[in-house]
Structure formats: structure tokens, C-alpha cells
Amino acid sequence: MRMYMEGKDGSMFPSSSSSAPGPTFWFHSCHGQDARQLAPVIVNRSGSATVAEAFAAEAEAPDALGLRCNVEGLALVAEDAGEESATVVPSLLMVEVSWCSFRTASDPDMALIALVPPTPGCGIRGTSIAGLAQATAGWFIIVQGCAAHDFVDMLSVRGCLRTDFDKSFSMAHDGDCVIGEGAYATVYHMKAPSGREVAVKQMNHTSDLESIEREVAALVQLQGDNIIGFRGVFWKTETEQIRFYNIFDLAPGGDLLYKVLKSGGMTEAAARPLFIGILRGLKHIHDHDIVHRDVKTENILLQSGGVPMLADFGLACKITDEQQMSRRCGSAGFVAPEVCLGTPYDCKVDNFGAGVILYFMLSREMPFSSPDRDSAATMRKTVKCSLHLQRPPFDSMTSRLRNILRQLICKSQEDRLTAASALEHSWIAGKSDKSGSSSSSKKKEKVMGEVPVPLDPSPEEPTLADASEAQQGHPAAPGGPQNDVL
């Protein structure tokens, strides 16, 4: 799935720079005036009005301002003079948000923000998305000093659920605005009323709410360098089914697959900075105990200046999630041998995929693809994991390069490099290769790379059953990445 992004900042649509004082946020006085004793109120979900609109129609404007509030990390907190901040909503993930204009006795130009957390312990299934019709406890915030959507955009990047997609985005131009299309989603080039261009990942109708929550949770937690910029999640009902939209920054450089197929194989010097960025992104992911599980060229997007960004977290999960970690999922040619064999795996499956990416960047070929682009044949070759680096173009490259490839694209999880250790490899450091590509070093590599491995799994051995997104729209390349998704 190709998506594009550009830049990183604190909000989806930042206001123009100004010397004016920053915005001020208050809890509505209905919640109380003591930070330690604030309490939510029952929200009104009846009728077609949003929760914010329903509250604004019933609430009394005079003396509406309560305690000041703020957002710290993923939490909503109350501020009390002379006291430490008190956490009111520990996590804004999957909290439903709506807003409307609001008048107070002191200021007729205010906005009211409604926040309705999910039922405790239920996540996305504890929201109105899952048909929760009964009244639910919520929080109401009054905003001064900025437009309501600026504050809501700040909540969006923290995983709040929004329903105002049609008011927030339109196609970026006349004609075809499809950036990429796969089995589970379509990505569109769209823009906000401010003119800011974004990539919108429209999920196909799905009832797998937990997968949506896992992806958003990972994106919210992982925001940082070399990770796709996430701007929010929206949902609406279409033909009695739920459709989700994830919003991302726009990447003008396209994806890494397109770059390699268009420009050809790279030199070591050209591939190194790109690969360093990929490894840094993976290290960041793994440091948060998350595994991506679909590391491939199509999921590496290029920001301005060619900075690589990891994207598509649809298969990402916590390594402590036993149910998810038992799934066999990924993309043919990039998935690790242990996944093909159905044996337990860990974060190092991502590093195997990273090694395949490096191999492809340098050669414009895949190490284990089959001539007829057959996924089962590719899996058998992956399980064998016989890596041949004594032929062009690798025979003329440094032994340090061949060494890091062998330590990433290897059958044994125990022997495979972690992202952190790969970043410390001598090839990454760009150290000189005194041994060059001598016959002795080639002979040593050949011995290391030809450990006998059973070629064919037995007929009873299961094949990968879980699917990721199919890739479309790329020119074909001999031996290039297969579009088959397992």
C-alpha cells in the first residue's frame, strides 16, 4: 500500500505562527471545581445531534468555566492552582470527540469539546461504533484562543475517534486521486479546508474493530523519526456498515519500491543512509515492544530529502499479545523462515525483511523469488534461506556489505542481528573494507551461507493463512518483489 507524507508537527492543521498568547482550555463547571474530585457527567446520545451539540443546547452559559485543563502525553489532566496536575482521562486512545460553538457569559466566541471515553476495559468495542446506544459518562471542555478544530486535531494525533470526515477533507484535485489500492484499503490524495494535503487510508468495510484499534494504538505510541506521520482516525456508517479512515502526512518521494524500479540498483554509498533510517525506525518500534510484521519496500515511504519512513502498521502488534503473535502473516519474499514454518517468532522477523530490502535496493532483485511469482515456491526458498552473494552485483561489493546481509537474511533467529546491533555493524559505520572482495573472504562467506536446510515443507505443513495488503500500481521487474500477500 503506497501512502505519502510530508513534515511532522504537533497538529494536523497548525495555525499560522503568531505572537498571540496560546489557547486556554477549561473543564465545564458541571464537573466541579476541585481537581481531585472532578466527575464526568451523563451524555445525551439521543437524536441526530452530536454529544457536544446536545450538551450545548441544554447547558447554562453563565459561570460555565471550571478548572483549567491540558493534554500531557496521551492523558487529559486538570490543573489546580498550587496543586500538581490531576489525571482525568489516562488515555485518549479511542475516546470519542465532537465539538460545536458555545457562548459563555464572558465570551460569546467559545467552543465546546465533548470527550466520551470508551467503557473501561472494552476499548473500541466500548464506544458507539459497536452500537453502544445507552447514555455514557463524558467530559466537556471549553476552548478559548483557537479554533475548535485546532484543539480537536491535537486530540486526533492521540487516537481520539472523530465522525466529521466529510467536513474535514475533499479530493486534492480533479481526476483520479487514488495513490494506492490493496485488498483491505485504498489510499487517496486529499486536502483539508486549510489547503494542507494529506494521504487518507480508507479501510474497506470491516468488522474487525480490534485490528483498527491495534493499528491506531501503534501509530500513536510510535510517532517519531522514521515513522509515518499519523494525524487521526475517522469513522462513519455507510450502508449499515462501518468505514474507517486513517489520516497521514503526504510523502512526495513515493515509496522505496517505486524508487528502485525507476532508478535501478543503488551503490552501497547511496543505499547506506536509507538503510540506516529504516533500521532506526525498526529499533524505535522494537524498543516499544512492538513488531511490525510487514516490513517491505512498499511500506518504506520517502519524505522530502529522501528520508525513509516506515508505514502501514496494519499487522503491527505488541510482542506480549500471545494471540496475535501466533498468527502467520506477512508478504511473500520478505517474511522470515520461522513465520513460513509456523514456529514462534519475535521482533527479528522485521530485521529479516529489512535485510531483503537492502538486498533489493542494491540489486533490483529479490533473494528468494520464483520465476513464476508463486508464493508457495517463494516460501520454500525462504525456508531453505540459501543466500548467493558470489554473483553480480554482490561479487564486486565489499565483504562488510555481504556480511551484514548474511546476518540479517539468515534462517536462525538466534544468529540474526537485532536492529540495534545492525546499526553498530561496520558496514553501517562506513568503515573501509581492507579485505575487499578477496577470494578468501568469498570462500568463508560461501561456507557460512550453505548450511543444509530441508527444501520442501511436508504436504501437511500449513501455509500462511493471514493476509496483508496487496500491492498494485508498480512496474514489473525481473525477480522483483512479488505482489502475492500471504
Binding residues for ATP: 201
What is each CA distance from 99 to 41, 54, 144, 240, 378, in whole angstroms?
A: 16, 10, 13, 24, 51
The helix/strand/coil state of 226 is coil
**CB-based contact 27:66 (threshold 8 Å):** yes
Task: Give the burial class of 75: count Cβ atoms within 10 A of its Cβ; 0-12 exposed, 13-18 middle, 19 or more buried.
Answer: middle
- CB neighbourhood size of 122 (10 A): 12
Residue ranges for the known binding site are 201
Distance CA 448, CA 341 (A): 22
In single-letter form, the type of residue at position 40 comes to P
Nearest residue to 22 via CA among 107, 144, 158: 144
Task: Give the burial class of 74: count Cβ atoms within 10 A of its Cβ; 0-12 exposed, 13-18 middle, 19 or more buried.
Answer: middle
Nearest residue to 291 via CA among 345, 338, 254, 244: 345
Give phi and psi for 447, each to the nearest 5: -65, -40
- All 3 cell numbers of residue 45? 446520545
Distance CA 134, CA 137 (A): 10
Give per-residue burial for 145-169: e unless 16+ CB within 10 Å, then b: ebebbbbbbbbbbbbbbbbebeebb
Distance CA 352, CA 357 (A): 9
- All 3 cell numbers of residue 58? 441544554
Give per-residue burial for 206-243: e unless 16+ CB within 10 Å, then b: eeebebbbbbbbbbbbbeeebbbbbbbbbbeeeeeebb
**CB-based contact 347:291 (threshold 8 Å):** yes
Distance CA 295, CA 4 (A): 16
Distance CA 360, CA 379 (A): 17
Distance CA 464, CA 110 (A): 54
**CB-based contact 228:247 (threshold 8 Å):** no
Nearest residue to 112 via CA among 72, 139, 87: 139
Nearest residue to 331 via CA among 294, 299, 289, 288: 294
The answer for residues whose C-beta is within 8 angstroms of residue 228's C-beta and 6 or more apart is: 3, 5, 219, 248, 249, 251, 301, 309, 310, 311, 312, 313
